[in-house]
Chain A
Amino acid sequence: MRRAAAALVIVLGALGVLGPALVLAAAPVDEQTVHAIAAQLRCVVCQSLSVADSPSETAHQMRDIIRERLATGETPEQVTAYFVARYGDWILLAPPRRGFTLLVWVVPFVGLALGLVVVAVAVRRWSRVSAGRAAAAAPEVDAATRERIRREMAEGGP
C-alpha cells in the first residue's frame, strides 16, 4: 500500500514537472508569426531596418523574446503591445493610424486630391483660353464673301 502511494506520488510529481513542458511542446511557435511580428518592429540599434531583417545581436535577442512570449500563449497583438509599452510608437515601422500619426496616412491622399483639383482647374482654364484664341484667329466670313464662294462653286470654279 505504501509502495503504491509512493508510486502515485512519483507519477504525479513527474506530471507536475513535465506537464508545462508537454504543453509547450504541443504548441510550437510558428516561425512565420515570429517573422511577421519582427517585421513590424524597428531594430533599435539600426537605421531603418526591422527586427526581422537586422543581423544585429539586439534584433536576435528581440526575436527570441517574441518567440518566448508567443510560447507562453500571448497573441501577436499582445507581443507587439509589450514592445510599444517600452519603446513607444517609435518601435513600430508603420506609424499607427490614430492620433497625430494618422496625418501621415491621410496627408498624401489629401495632397493627391488637391493636386488633381488644381490640374483639372488649370486644364479647363487653358482649354478655354486656347478655344478663345482659335475663335479669334478665325474671323467671321461676311455674307458677301459667303455669297461669292457659293456662286463660284456653282459655276464650277474660276
Chain B
Amino acid sequence: MSRLRWAIPLAVLPVIALLAYGFWTDPRGEVKSPLIGKPASPFTLSTFTGAPVSLDGLRGRVVLVNFWASWCIPACYEEAPVLQEVWRDYERHGLAMVGINVQDKDDEARKFMEQFKFTFPNAMDVGGKVAVNYGVYGVPETFLIDKKGRIRERKVGAVDAEALRGQVERLLAEPS
C-alpha cells in the first residue's frame, strides 16, 4: 500500500515534465525548415520601382532573400539597417539581395524603404505565394541561397549582423 502511495505522484511527474517542455518550447523556432539544402523556389515579381526581379536572373550568385513588412514591429525595424549595410558592403563582391514585402500597404511599404534608404530591389508578394513557397511563418524571415541555387541558411526573426556577415562571406567564398 505504501508503494502505491508513491506510484501516483511518480506517474504524474513525466506528464508534468512533458507539458512543461511543450509550453516552454517556441513552436516555430524549433522547427527546422525542410527546404535547407533544396533548390530555392523560383519567383518573378515586380519591384516597387516597376522593374522585374526574378531568381532565375540571379543564377550563379549568392542571393539573400528577406521577407519583411512595415507592420512588423520591432524586428523588421531592427534588422533593416543591418540589411542595407550588408548590401552596401557585399554588393561589389557579388551578393544579390531581394526584399520581399508581405501583406502590406503600398504607401506604408514605400515609407519603410525610404526610412531605411533601401537601395536593393524590393517587391511586394501579392497573394503570398512566394512566402508560402519558402515556408515562411512570419516576418521577418531571411534566406541565403548559394551560387548553385540551393537554400543554405534560414533565419526566423531579426538577423544578427555578425552572424549574417559570416554566412554571406562563407557562401561568397564557395566556388560557383
- Cα A151 to Cα B129 in complex, Å, equals 101
Given the interface pairs A44-B138, A61-B127, the reply to whether A86 lies near B103 with Cβ below 8 Å is no
Note all chain A residues with C-beta closer than 8 A to B128.
57-58, 61-62, 65
Interface pair A45/B127, CB less than 8 Å apart: no
Distance in angstroms from A123 CB to nearest chain B CB is 13
**Which single member of B31, B103, B133 contacts A88 (CB below 8 Å)?**
B31
Interface pair B35/A86, CB less than 8 Å apart: yes
Mark interface residues in A66-98 (1 if CB within 8 Å of B CB, else 0).
000000000000000001111110100000000
A118: nearest residue on chain B (CB-CB)? B7
Residues facing A in B24-57 (CB within 8 A) are 27-28, 31-35
Q: Which of B129, B132, B133, B136 has the most CB of A within 10 A?
A: B132
Mark interface residues in B123-143 (1 if CB within 8 Å of A CB, else 0).
000011101111111100000
Whether a CB of chain B sits under 8 angstroms from the CB of A30 is: no
Interface pair B135/A86, CB less than 8 Å apart: yes
Other A-B pairs beyond A45-B137, A61-B132, A64-B127, 8, CB < 8 Å: A44-B136, A44-B138, A47-B27, A65-B129, A65-B132, A84-B34, A86-B34, A90-B27
Distance in angstroms from B102 CB to nearest chain A CB is 9
Interface pair B135/A87, CB less than 8 Å apart: yes
- Cα A64 to Cα B127 in complex, Å, equals 8
Using a CB–CB cutoff of 8 Å, the interface residues on chain A facing chain B are 44-45, 47, 57-58, 61-62, 64-65, 83-88, 90, 122
Cross-chain pair count, CB within 8 angstroms = 46
For chain B, the count of residues having a C-beta within 8 Å of the partner chain is: 20
**Which single member of A57, A83, A84 contacts B103 (CB below 8 Å)?**
A57
Note all chain A residues with C-beta closer than 8 A to B27.
47, 90
Distance in angstroms from B42 CB to nearest chain A CB is 14
Note all chain A residues with C-beta closer than 8 A to B127.
61, 64-65
Interface pair B34/A88, CB less than 8 Å apart: yes
Distance in angstroms from A39 CB to nearest chain B CB is 17
Q: Pick 15 A–B contacts, CB within 8 A, sort by A.
A: A44-B137, A45-B137, A47-B27, A61-B132, A62-B132, A64-B127, A84-B34, A86-B132, A86-B133, A86-B135, A87-B31, A87-B34, A87-B135, A88-B32, A88-B33
- Cα A86 to Cα B132 in complex, Å, equals 7
- Cα A14 to Cα B138 in complex, Å, equals 43
A56: nearest residue on chain B (CB-CB)? B103
Note all chain B residues with C-beta closer than 8 A to A84.
34
- Cα A136 to Cα B136 in complex, Å, equals 73
- Cα A62 to Cα B35 in complex, Å, equals 18
Interface pair B103/A58, CB less than 8 Å apart: yes
Distance in angstroms from B4 CB to nearest chain A CB is 8
B103: nearest residue on chain A (CB-CB)? A57
A44: nearest residue on chain B (CB-CB)? B137
Distance in angstroms from A37 CB to nearest chain B CB is 14
